[in-house]
Structure 1
Amino acid sequence: MGVSVALFTADLRVHDNPVLRAALRDAERVVPLFVVDSGIRRTGFVVPNRAAFLADSLADLDAALRARGGRLVVRAGDVVEETCRVAVETGASVVHIAGGVSRYAARREDRLRAELAQGGRLLRVHDASLTAVPPGTLTPAGKDHFAVFTPYFRRWEGFSVRDVLPAPDAVPVPEVGSAGLPDVKTLLSCPPGPVSPGLPAGGETEGRRRLRSWLAGPLDRYEEQHDDLTADATSRLSPYLHFGCLSPAEALHRVRAHAGPGAHAFVRQLAWRDFHHQVLAARPDAAHHDYRPRHDRWRADAEQIRAWKEGRTGYPVVDAAMRQLRHEGWMPGRARMLAASFLAKTLYVDWRVGARHFLDLLVDGDIANNQLNWQWVAGTGTDTRPNRVLNPLVQARRFDPRGAYAHRWLPELRATDAMHLPDAVRREAGYPSPIVDLAEATARFRRLRG
């Protein structure tokens, strides 16, 4: 049966991994391969937080493979050239890879398929690896993707998701050269910048532990509390889903099997993830261009953008969100919406500025979800109410009514009432006055958006 290659990308796990299982079915020996891809590093997508999480995840994957008699083979360089080189060195006849949805992933697959074919080798792409429902599987009549979430979700709920695959008992690996496991410096194309001090540990082991803990109780409170900024009641599983340390299909099956309340609301969030992947697969330009152009005349106020990034806008709930992002490389969905709405609609700054800043820090920074969520908030994406504006004061009263979230992330305000900050109190605390008047900003947005 020979040798096959399982090329790991965003599926860094041994449980429920269609790529690894198919490679083991195809051959007597398998090369579990990860390439530190110089092409991705040149895009600026690999940043300190994701590099640190990735290094953890690769070390954990290697340990899981070694427990099964194998190991992770690491190469560095152009992913197509290195994968073909490994295939030649080991005599592999087929390479397995998880199907991606970005333009970069599509080009990588096309190049890899063509290069392998020149040597009489095959590329097998597994579309059911990175999402619960493969992109393109569900489409409305006469169209290639769903542009609105609700009808997509109705179809998605009725789809029969594939069964969960067990982790292999053994992974026999042929003799082949490998670089050492990469660290943060190796993964970055430049000297590493600071990693967020509150960054979670990466890897499948930690991801599965967190999933078990989530199912054991907190999930029951999810529907009621997921928008409550004080409660911190979200799963925090997004980094593990982004890197494929957790299988979305397995997560969906396990949540659906949970009898308690909250399951349906969380399933809906998994569906949103799949929804954005199917949009980007059909419209790869949406990563950088308006999905639905509104002919915006974006502003570019450098001082206001800097204040937003630093969490010094004078609106505590927005500033707390931005401080949490810098400290943890993560923030809950409601906080992301508030921060994004403030930049794109209150300050009327191009959503791409905010999306790039999020990608610079988010450990779960994902082209499909980050870019398309930003477009949803900015009103250039799939939101059916593109001109809605989230008022940070109203949102704070609803989702941080006692100011506990603001106090947690804004230490200068801990001795004050974060909901009521007279100028004298702000000056004494060292906290800035609002950088914009909300009523004037909303009026400006509606005038310029037309």
Structure 2
Amino acid sequence: MDASAYLPVRTWLRPGVVTAGQGLLIALLSLGTNVALFVLSVVALALIPVFGVGIVLFPVVTVGVRYSAGLHRRLARWVGVTLATPYLPAPDGAQFGTWRRFRWVVSDPATWRDLAWMLLGTFTGAICLAPLALPAYGLEGLIGLPLVLHTAGVDYGYGPFWPIDNTAQALLCFPIGALLVAGGLVVARWPIRLHVTVAGFFLPPTREAELALRVRQLTVTRAETVDAQAAELRRIERDLHDGAQARLVALSMSIGLAEQLVRDDPEAVRRLLAEARETSGQALAELRGLVRGIHPPVLAERGLPGAVRALALAVPLPVDVTVDLPGRPAAPVESAAYFAVAEALANVGKHSGATRAWVELRYAAGRLTLVVGDDGRGGAASTADGGLAGTGRRLAAFDGTMTVTSPAGGPTVISMELPCALSSPKTSPSSGTG
């Protein structure tokens, strides 16, 4: 039989088996970790009057509670749900064992929402056993266990359906088992969706907390943006002072000296004018380089795809460039994306030891995604004073994010996202190789 005939079976069987395993993991975490942490939290609160033991113990237990809740937030991504982290930042001096730490923990509404989730999530997590329990229950009938035992003369009741009194009843267990296995795998995702739906009521931040977190994030990014702009202005001022300005001063002095010698020493005047011409050319080149550092002309002329391909050509190794942009983002966003890719490619050329690299530009769901990767030695990190940290701050000014994945031995993949809208739609995506 053609293998394609089995495609409908594989279509539901493989995802069902995977989801059943996911449900087992969620059930184990819920029935084990959640119950233990909830009991410990209750005990810690009860010990507050006992010489303040709970004041020390409750924040410690809360660390485990928040870690467990964070794990369930990550597991929610299995069904395509993203749950944000709701916790308030710790104040200065909130060390373990201090009253400040305890007050910070108990005053955070997310602490009590986590505890409520621990209690209710235990029940919804137990339901996630169904995708595994039903197929396991039906599997014994499917493999003929009731028939084997009946043939051997062993009394065996197949679950709640009927006692096995004859061979016909034992044979009937085959289709019943098949239905249980298939049904359990088909509906495997539903209990997990129920679990995640309930988690969505407790684990994300409330509307008020979300606004407060947003305000703090904007405050931080604004301060970083102001610092970055100030540093950029100082760089421009330094480049002008040390480069073009110094050459223009030298040019002015050469012309002034030529004016004094124009009658007495024409040969010296010619030499001075030649030096002045060379100096003016150098000053012009430095001014052009400075302008390119502010907003590259290639970006304005050819857009982000063309500018990125130009960057790829300047890297001393093959760089594959793939672009899927149905339009152009706003100029500030385009500039931030360009310099982010430029910094990443510069690191590839200087530090990676790679033999090839790749750049991907994509746009979907209102987000511009930039991926820069290489097959080098890995080990890249975003240090506080490094170029990647500066790239992260540049993207943060537009609510962008950056993730660096670079295990030892490679590969290194830098993923960046920028929320934005596009204009000037194109008819088809394009790709190329630099």
Q: Identify the structure with the greater helix proportion.
A: 2
Shorter-chain TM-score category?
under 0.3
**Rg bigger for which structure?**
2
Q: Identify the structure with the greater strand proportion.
A: 2
TM-score (norm 1): 0.21
The structure, 1 or 2, with the larger RCO (C-alpha pairs under 8 Å, 6+ apart) is: 1
